[in-house]
Amino acid sequence: MRFRFIHAADLHLDSPMHGLTARQPHLASLFADAARNAFVALVSEAIERDAAFLIIAGDVYDGDWRDYHTGLFFAGQLARLTRAGIPAYLIRGNHDADSIISRSLTLPADVHLFGTRKAETVELPALKVALHGRSFAERAVSENMVRSYPQAVPGWFNIGVLHTSLDGRAGHASYAPCTLADLRAKQYDYWALGHIHAAEIVCEDPYVVFPGNLQGRHIRETGAKGAMLVEVEDGAIVGVEPLTLDRARWAHIRVDVGAAASLDEVVRRVEPALRREALAAGERPLALRLTLDGETPVHHGLAASGPHVQAELQAAADRVSDRLYVERVVLATTPPRTEPADAGIGFADPEALLSGVEGEPGFAAAFAAAFEDIAARLPDELRPLLAEGGEEARSGLLDEARSIALGRLRQGRGSGGEPGA
């Protein structure tokens, strides 16, 4: 007997897209709809491929959503599956546990939501499949939930559905932690995991799989996103194939502009890289962070003229595609190692002058106040990203301010020139 199923997780329906601004309203609108459109694509894929069932391993929602249109949309898409004769099996993840909608909205009859008190088993006799799963009852689950899962049903194809950080992954809170040995001890054939947003086949004996999230939501979730298609024949897995289903994409690229002597040359070096990324994204809207690096005589001019540089590179992006947005330009260039001696500005080397600023009395308090003021002015959806960045965000902001100040001092002195010169 041969059948296939689809394993998805971390839909985060109607989650805000962090890092987009009103500078490109048409693209912001496309990104806002991306998570819903990706889920529509997931349901369509299940129907078109005649999947035996769909698994969603947690985090359908994104916390305590009070707009019932989110839940109604989800239920409506599951109803499409029901009409096609495809059942769905869900667990609640840490975000779902915060959601009023996920606790109260009635789902179609052919959808099974695993309970929270202990692991449950659902048997599909026609396929000889046993699914074992347990939902989060609250957001912060610190127990090893695997211990409550039953042993495999002998002679059947056994699937464990679990929302977990496993043994830890960067950027993700430690929820329902467990080890690979814990999973193997249950003797299941496939572990359908959720919570980690990067797709990963952790193990193939047995298969332990994170499909990643369905749709990237910010610049730390780059590249193709989607779900996993699993093929089973005579009780054994014969294929695990990633399905690309995202409807908008994030990317972060580095371009070496070391040989550039003007902003025009920087743009000429960047534009082919933009074209490659737009081609890889296909018809999807693309938000791209661009890091410029290399040793270049135009470094100070770039540092002193951030808005001009951003505008020129966005104009280059517009020439490539009307769906390409330069989310941010990060300056990681350096000036040439040997520069003309400083002269004509009435004081010592600006770099030496700025190097002692951080040790001045009251600097730390003034910088902290400025940082908090910047955070207070940000849109609500961006504040969590700044908070998550912690000391790295503060250090990055300080480095950027130092580069701008140094660039403007040197530019005023005549070293480095205009960025477009």
CA separation (Å) from 179 to 41, 72, 217? 33, 36, 28
CA angle 250, 255, 259 (to 5 degrees): 165
**3-class SS shares of the chain: helix, strand, coil, % to 5:** 35, 25, 40
* DSSP, residue by residue, 81-96: HHHTT--EEEE--TTG
pLDDT mean for each 10 residues of the chain (421 residues)? 97 80 73 94 98 95 72 94 97 69 76 92 98 83 88 98 82 77 97 96 97 94 97 97 97 96 96 97 96 94 91 96 94 81 49 59 68 61 54 58 56 50 41
Torsion angles phi and psi, residue 140, rounded to 5: -95, 95
CB 208 within 8 A of CB 180: yes
How high is the pLDDT of residue 341?
Answer: 47
Domains of the chain, by residue range, sit at 2-244, 249-413
CB 229 within 8 A of CB 243: yes
| Strands, sheet with 249-256, edge to edge from the N-terminal-most edge strand | 249-256, 286-295, 324-334
CATH of domain 2-244: 3.60.21.10
How high is the pLDDT of residue 356?
Answer: 59
How many angstroms separate the CA atoms of 288 and 60, rounded? 26
Of 283, 385, 400, the closest CA to residue 331 belongs to 400
CA angle 238, 239, 243 (to 5 degrees): 160
3-state secondary structure of 414: coil
How many angstroms separate the CA atoms of 304 and 268, rounded? 20
How high is the pLDDT of residue 284?
Answer: 96
Of 131, 125, 137, 97, the closest CA to residue 111 belongs to 131
Of 5, 260, 372, the closest CA to residue 157 belongs to 5
How high is the pLDDT of residue 344?
Answer: 43
Of 234, 227, 248, the closest CA to residue 49 belongs to 227
What number of CA atoms fall less than 13 Å from residue 54's CA on the CB side? Answer: 28
3-state secondary structure of 355: helix
Q: Are strands 226-233 and 236-244 parallel, antiparallel or unpaired?
A: antiparallel
3-state secondary structure of 7: strand
